[in-house]
Amino acid sequence: MVIGRRLFVDIMSDTVWFLTSNPGKLAEASVHFAELGIEVKCLEVPDGAIVEPQASDLESVARAKIEQALNHLPHDNAMLLVEDAGLFVTALDGFPGVYSSYAYDTIGNQGVIRLLEHLQSEDPVRAKRLRAASFKAVSVLWKNGEVLIGRGECQGSIASQIQGAEGFGFDPIFIPYDLDEDGHPLDPENLGSLSTHGQTFGEVGVEVKHRFSHRKRALDDLLNEWQNQRSQDGP
Ligand code: IMP
């Protein structure tokens, strides 16, 4: 569903406060909301104010962060955005998943590659299947006590080595599957209309990544959710 820029400017104030200390995430969300004329600012919270919740799914983690961050909003009717994401590797039963942050800080990109080093094939399509993974994101927007949730996924595979230094986190080891003209991911044997041609997110940079991004999809889903709700509520 296409959502008009005007509608969003009407229903949202023009600033979203994003609970993140990650400049990469802020840059991606800013690109997204800029299309709607909305500025995304980083919500500053004191050190230790937000405790990383222990939960088995991304949505519970994001909701728990919303609860903790509400007290730090600059004014009562400010909008708060929280996003939680992770890398889910199929051959590792979804690990690191909700533990992605910890896994990145401890074993890092090299550690993930090491965990998958036995999964190789001469056949590039089979190699991609063996090393399949997806980024998943959940975006939660709080406004006047109302909570909206968006979910997004980006399918791909784990590279055999670290490639590129753009982006953040696991970007240098993640190669997205091609997308068709409607933005849907294709099986690894198919060439799509949008492709990184085997390059990782760490090689292609934020503008290209944005077109595949789980975060973009979660934000799109969230904004669609908002519009659906408004049409149910009536004029
Ligand atoms: P967070 O809890 O949403 O901050 O993300 C958990 C971990 O997953 C962090 O260590 C990030 O490095 C990693 N991560 C989340 N999203 C991405 C992404 O888009 N690219 C690369 N790594 C990501």
Residue of the CA atom closest to atom 19 of ligand 1 = 171
**In the prediction, which pLDDT does 9 show?**
41
Domains in the chain: ranges and CATH: 5-233 (3.90.950.10)
C-beta of residue 172 within 8 angstroms of C-beta of residue 165? yes
Residue of the CA atom closest to atom 5 of ligand 1 = 85
C-beta of residue 29 within 8 angstroms of C-beta of residue 215? yes
**In the prediction, which pLDDT does 45 show?**
92
The closest of 91, 101, 22 to 55, measured between CA atoms, is 101
As a whole number, mean pLDDT of residues 89-106 equals 97
**In the prediction, which pLDDT does 78 show?**
86
**In the prediction, which pLDDT does 170 show?**
97
pLDDT at 107 over 70: yes
Q: Which atom of ligand 1 is nearest to the CA of 87?
A: 8
Radius of gyration of the chain, Cα coordinates, nearest whole angstrom: 18
C-beta of residue 169 within 8 angstroms of C-beta of residue 182? no
Q: Which atom of ligand 1 is nearest to the CA of 85?
A: 3
**In the prediction, which pLDDT does 7 show?**
41
**Residue 60: which residues within 8 A CB-CB, separation 6 or more?**
53
Q: What is the pLDDT of residues 40-79, one digit of tens each?
A: 899 999 988 888 888 889 999 999 999 999 999 988 778 8
Residue of the CA atom closest to atom 16 of ligand 1 = 85
Instruction: Give the mutation target among 26, 65, 83, 101 for probing the ligand 1 site: most ligand atoms within 8 A of CB.
Output: 101
**In the prediction, which pLDDT does 233 show?**
67
More confident site: 12 or 220: 220
Instruction: Give the mutation target among 168, 204, 210 for probing the ligand 1 site: most ligand atoms within 8 A of CB.
Output: 168
pLDDT at 166 over 60: yes
As a whole number of angstroms, the distance between CA 84 and CA 114 comes to 25
Mean pLDDT, rounded, of the chain: 88
pLDDT at 111 over 80: yes
Angle at 126 between CA 122 and CA 128, to 5 degrees: 105
Angle at 94 between CA 193 and CA 197, to 5 degrees: 25
Catalytic sites, residue numbers: 84
pLDDT at 164 over 80: yes
Q: Percentage of residues in the chain with pLDDT exceeding 90? A: 62
**In the prediction, which pLDDT does 224 show?**
84
**In the prediction, which pLDDT does 4 show?**
43
**In the prediction, which pLDDT does 17 show?**
94
C-beta of residue 98 within 8 angstroms of C-beta of residue 57? yes
As a whole number, mean pLDDT of residues 143-161 equals 94
Pairing of strands 79-89, 132-143: antiparallel
Q: How far is CA 35 from CA 8, 89, 155, in A?
A: 10, 32, 25
As a whole number of angstroms, the distance between CA 44 and CA 31 comes to 20
Name residue 158's amino acid. I
Q: What is the pLDDT of residues 4-45, one digit of tens each?
A: 443 444 344 678 999 998 887 888 778 777 776 778 899 999
